[in-house]
Structure 1
Amino acid sequence: MDLKIKSRHFLITGGTRGIGRSIAEGFAAEGADVSICARTAAHVEETVAALECFGVRAFGRATDVADGAALKGLIFDAVQHMGRLDGLVANTSAMASGSGVSDFDAAYRVDLLHTHNAVEAAMPFLEQSDAASVVAISSVSGSQDYGYESVSYGTMKAALFFYMKSLARHVAPKGIRANIVSPGTTLFPGGYWDEVRRTDSQGFARAVADNPLGRMAAPEEVARVVVFLSSPCASFVTGANVVVDGTLTTRIQN
């Protein structure tokens, strides 16, 4: 299937590893130009070079997405470099999963507020695209309780559902789509579940056994859904929460 995104430009926050990196590579593999950010400059530089190997243009900068001014500057400069913006993927997460004030503050500023700030900064440019989209990466933790020890993470991921649904209805008259992708347990080097695998083998085994498919997702399995949703081929899909969890959750979507 031709996703019709060749030479379009997509910006992904948190694009140097895991799901974000796979999303960036997924766009590049389809011939789209890609901009990314992450906190570590060396990782950004390496990822930009890897993306350029797909034969597309790539742009990146070390950015703390909790800094609204820095995030706005990144998006502005990326658009100036590429000349357009067709899609935004708000992927960065603080992975703050405790119940303390500092956990809630980090999860709010990174998971929720960065998404809002990125949308606000990108919107004037998205409005100029003939097939613009926004995708926010939430989690199954936003719709299913996994315990009080992860309450800050789940709370902000749940808040993204409301924000993105409201955004979708607000920007629909402008021809802009907005969707959520909610991954389940996803395994990649250096990620949360990789750490669990190394430090708590029994806990990791239980998490794997909880999924009827008998395994965790690879990041590219989530990325493919994001790339499709961001493309003109998903032109009538907006306001949706697409769960990519291998039937981990038992909740019925409504």
Structure 2
Amino acid sequence: MDLQLKGKKAILAGATKGIGRAVAEVLAAEGCAIELCARDKAGVEEAVQQLRERGGSATGESVDLGNADAYRDWVTRASERLGGCDIFVCFGSAGGGAPSEERWQAAFELDLLATYRGIDAALPTLEKSGSASIVVISTTVAIEPAFGPQPYAALKAAVTNYAGALAHSLAPKGIRVNTVSPGPILIEGGAWDKIKAGRPEFYEKTVNQVPLGRLGQAAEVANAVAFLASPVSAFTTGTNLVIDGGMTKRVQH
């Protein structure tokens, strides 16, 4: 299927690792021009170089998503370098873990505010696109608690709610907003990879809770993000696409 992404311009915040990196690779392979950022300068340079070696168009900068002014300024510069923006996705996250004052603050800054700030900064350019799309990254634990109370889940729930309301608000302007909520995704060097090595019993218990019998892959999430972001999904907005191998139990009416 041709996703009709060739020539589109995508701004990806926090996209040098994990799902963000996989999305950058898929969009670049589909013909999108990519502008990405992350805090680690070496990681940005490596990601950009690899995308270019594979024939993609990519540029990037080292940006701390917790620095509101620097982050907003980067989105503006990225739009100018690309000559527009058709797709915006923020992958910023503080990750999971037990509640603490520091984790609550980090989740507020990197999961919620980073999403809001990036979208807000990109909106003036997205409004000029003929096929504007925002994809928000949430998680299944935002809709169905699975690993105890944690800031990550609560703030991602807020992100999911915000995205749904934003979809209705921006639809008259031709800007689509959709959410992708992955379940456990096994990524080399990522959280579940570390759990597999350090807490094998918990890892196997989690795998056994997934009806498909395995954890997901970053590429599987990336393909879904690309589909939702593409003109092929032109009539889809306000949805929350759950990608979890059937792990969540709720009936999705």
Please name the residue that 1:27 is paired with. 27
Please name the residue that 2:116 is paired with. 116
CA distance in 2, matches of 1:173, 1:97: 39
Structure 1 counterpart SS, 2:124: helix
4+ aligned runs moved over 4 Å, structure 1 = none
Contact 1:98 1:153 in 2 (8 A): no
Contact 1:31 1:55 in 2 (8 A): no
Contact 1:31 1:54 in 2 (8 A): no
Please name the residue that 2:142 is paired with. 142
Please name the residue that 2:205 is paired with. 206
CA distance in 2, matches of 1:88, 1:36: 10
Alignment of 1:145-184 (within 5 A): 145-148=145-148, 150-184=149-183
User: Structure 2 stretches of 5 or more lacking a match?
Assistant: none
How far the C-alpha of 1:39 sits from its partner, in A, is 1.3
Structure 2 counterpart SS, 1:207: helix
How far the C-alpha of 1:211 sits from its partner, in A, is 0.5
How far the C-alpha of 1:104 sits from its partner, in A, is 0.8
Please name the residue that 1:100 is paired with. 100
CA distance in 2, matches of 1:106, 1:77: 25
Fraction of identical pairs, as percent: 39
Q: TM (normalized to structure 1)?
A: 0.97
CA distance in 1, matches of 2:109, 2:165: 19
- Change in CA separation of 1:220 and 1:147 when aligned onto 2, cut-off 3 Å: closer
Q: Any idea what the Cα deviations from partners look like across 1:125-145, whole Å, max 9, x if unmatched?
A: 000100001001100010111
Please name the residue that 1:91 is paired with. 91
Q: Any idea what the Cα deviations from partners look like across 1:90-129, whole Å, max 9, x if unmatched?
A: 1121104321121111001100011000011000000010
Structure 1 counterpart SS, 2:150: helix
Please name the residue that 1:126 is paired with. 126
Q: Any idea what the Cα deviations from partners look like across 1:29-77, whole Å, max 9, x if unmatched?
A: 1011111111110010000011112323211111111111111111111
Please name the residue that 1:219 is paired with. 218
Supply the AA of the counterpart residue of 1:198. A
Q: TM (normalized to structure 2)?
A: 0.97
CA distance in 2, matches of 1:211, 1:96: 19
Please name the residue that 1:191 is paired with. 190
How far the C-alpha of 1:207 sits from its partner, in A, is 1.0
CA distance in 2, matches of 1:61, 1:185: 29
Structure 2 counterpart SS, 1:212: coil
Please name the residue that 1:13 is paired with. 13
Task: Please say which of residues 87-96 and 176-185 is displaced more in the overlay.
Answer: 87-96
Please name the residue that 1:66 is paired with. 66
Please name the residue that 1:228 is paired with. 227
Report the aligned-residue RMSD: 1.0
User: Structure 1 stretches of 5 or more lacking a match?
Assistant: none
Structure 1 counterpart SS, 2:206: helix
Contact 2:144 2:248 in 1 (8 A): yes
Structure 1 counterpart SS, 2:12: strand
Please name the residue that 2:44 is paired with. 44
CA distance in 2, matches of 1:43, 1:147: 30
Task: Please say which of residues 49-58 and 9-18 is displaced more in the overlay.
Answer: 49-58
CA distance in 1, matches of 2:129, 2:221: 25
